[in-house]
Every structure is written in structure tokens, then in C-alpha cells.
Copies of this chain bind each other. A is one copy, B any other.
């Protein structure tokens, strides 16, 4: 009967793969040993108290009814103000739409732009969920692999543009990139923008790691170079900056003209985000600057140095120090299959990494290590890895 049931659903949905990261996490959790898990894209800090208080107060205050599908107006205004200040541009409060995490922002965007037969192009390796979200809508997904060399991960723009065909509707750019740490230069963003304008393409910019940078205040953003009514959708989230991964709240910034369409998509996918969660998000984005800089980013900077220092001393390891985000993405000479390597690292030294096989083509031999964590956690993890990868 079970086989029968799987055969009676949509074939392409039955074929959706299990997250390759979750598989490793489940294995690690099943082990009878202490495990330092650096597999997921989240830090070790719980959400700060001032954010939790804001949500809990709203919850107890009765903010438990249906609310605005685009997000509550004060939060949308605060997001617009935050983006305007960060990027030195004027973002209208009509443009941000609150979503169930960056994930829904990507899903609804793909639903809006890429139906069956429409093509979406993206540099890879990349966070796999964009790949699978586009799979669900029936879009054609065309990866363009980064090159990896002595200068780190590089995007060949000619290769990217050559991949565009008559069915291409959108280019998905995740900068700073998960898992690679690649960060587009302003010049690269301008080149992509100009090409998109010329060809009438949409740009979907996943800028959730935009503030996790190590040599500047923030990563170059499409906000800085695009017009308000450009074919641009920017995905963002509260998850990373303010330790709110578990909350499932993010936002997307769209041209004003698409506000009603996006509202409809939120309505018919999930019917909005809890009002009291939005109050927590409002506290985060209006009062969370100290936390982000002094706690979240600071620990990433410290941990990044420790991680790079350790890995660079291991002769088998090939690593390009990440320009942005909070991952080290490296290969190990002699290790052909990253899934096997991740399982072995759990067994042997109890360190949990994410396998490159989870991130699509071009990453099979790599593993991802999330260093958004405390020194007390990253030091022993790196000692163990140094032992296992010596």
C-alpha cells in the first residue's frame, strides 16, 4: 500500500529530496556521544530577551487575531527605515512584505515569476532550498557553477549570461553566498542589473547575509544600484541578524506595483504572520543594533579567525576564506564524498558539518561549517577537526 501511495502523488513531488543537511543532523543526534553541531545555518545564541519580551507582551495583550497579510504597518515602516538607513537610499514603506521566513519570501517570489517551463538561473553551489522551491512550481532550474581557485569562489559573468535563454525569467543571486561565502562586488551587481534590464529579466536577490561581512560595513546590495520600480525582488530575514531562526519570520522587498499580488500570495499560501511575532521582529529591527554588532557579528569575527587559522594549517584542506556570511566551505584532499566524510567526522570526533552534496552541483567534495558560534564552542570543534583531518 505504501508504494502505491507514493506512486499516486505527483511524481515530481515524490522525487523531492530530503534535506541533505537534516539527514546528517538526524544521524548526529542519534549517536551516543557529545556532538558539536556546526551543520545548520544558525548560531548558538537564543533570541535576546528584549525581542522575546516584545512578542510575549503582545501575545498576552491579545494580539492573537488575524492581521494584515502584508505585515503590520509599523513593522513595514520600520523595515523600510532600516533598509533606507543601511543603504543610503529611500525605500518606501509600501515595498516590504512580511513573510514566513526568507523561505516563504523565496517560494512566493518563484510562484510569482516562474511557472512550469519558465527558467531560473542561479550560481551554484547554493542553499538548496531555492532549488527545491523552484522544483515545486515546475520551473526549469539552471545552475551556473562558481569557479574555485586560488582567488576563492568566483562568478564567471559571461558564463552566467550565456546560460540565459528564451525561457529564462529570473536570475537568483545570493550574496554573500551560502555556502560559499562569495560576495559580489558592486561592479558585478551593476553588470547583472544591466544585463537583466537589457533582457527584461527579474533579479531575485537573497541578501539575508548582507551584514555578515569582515572587511566593510555591509555587502554591496542591489538596493544601492536599482530603481524602486525595477524588476527586483530582495529576500531578507530576521533569522540571522537577531538570532531568530526558529521564529520563521522574514521579509521581501518588492516594487510597489506588486504589493497586491504579493499580498494575495501570502494570503493563499499561509494567510500571514502572527501579529505578536511581528512585534518581536519590530523590537529586533528597531532596537537590535547593539546585539547584532556586539554579540552576533563579533562572535562570527572571532570564530572566523579561529576557523581559518586552523584549516589553513591542515595541508589536505582547500579553503577560500569567506568574504561574507558565516560559513567555511572547504574540501579535503582524498575525501571524494562529502556525505561520507560528514558521517565519519561524527563517528570519529563528534563534529557535525553539512555535506556539500546538499548544495547542488559543484560542491560534492566540499563540507560546510557554520562558525556563527561562541569561542568556547568553536575551539574544541576545531581541535577535533584538526585531529580528524590531519
Contacts and interface: CB of A to CB of B under 8 A. Distances in A.
Contact of A245 (B59, B64, B129, B202): B64
Contacts of A112: 9-10, 13
A315 interface: no
A2 interface: yes
A373 interface: no
Contact of A69 (B22, B229, B256): B22
A131 to B, nearest CB: 9
Contact of A42 (B2, B65, B277): B65
Interface residues of A, number: 81
A268 B17 CA distance: 10
A24 to B, nearest CB: 14
A224 interface: no
Interface stretch (A47-55, A160-168, A208-216): A47-55
Contacts of A271: 101, 103, 129, 248
Interface in A2-52: 2-3, 5-6, 8-10, 12-14, 16-19, 22, 40, 42, 46-47, 49, 52
Interface string A214-248: 00000000000000010100000000000111111
B245 A65 contact: yes
Contacts of A260: 18
Nearest to A101: B271
A204 to B, nearest CB: 12
Interface in A57-72: 59-60, 62-67, 69
B13 A265 contact: yes
A180 interface: no
Contacts of A60: 49, 52, 56
A85 interface: no
A52 B19 CA distance: 32
Total identical chains:
2
A267 B133 CA distance: 9
Contacts of A133: 268-269
A257 interface: yes
Contact of A16 (B13, B40, B268): B268
Contacts of A118: 10
A337 B134 CA distance: 40
A313 B248 CA distance: 49
A190 to B, nearest CB: 20
A263 to B, nearest CB: 7
Contacts of A103: 268-271
A283 interface: no
Nearest to A276: B246
A231 B8 contact: yes
Contacts of A18: 260, 263-264
Contacts of A381: none
**8 nearest A-B residue pairs (beta carbon):** A2-B257, A46-B62, A56-B56, A47-B64, A132-B268, A16-B264, A100-B270, A1-B229
Given A8-B202, A100-B100, A132-B267, 20 more contacts: A2-B256, A5-B257, A6-B257, A9-B258, A10-B114, A10-B115, A12-B115, A13-B115, A19-B69, A22-B267, A42-B65, A46-B62, A49-B60, A52-B60, A55-B56, A64-B243, A129-B267, A138-B138, A246-B275, A270-B270
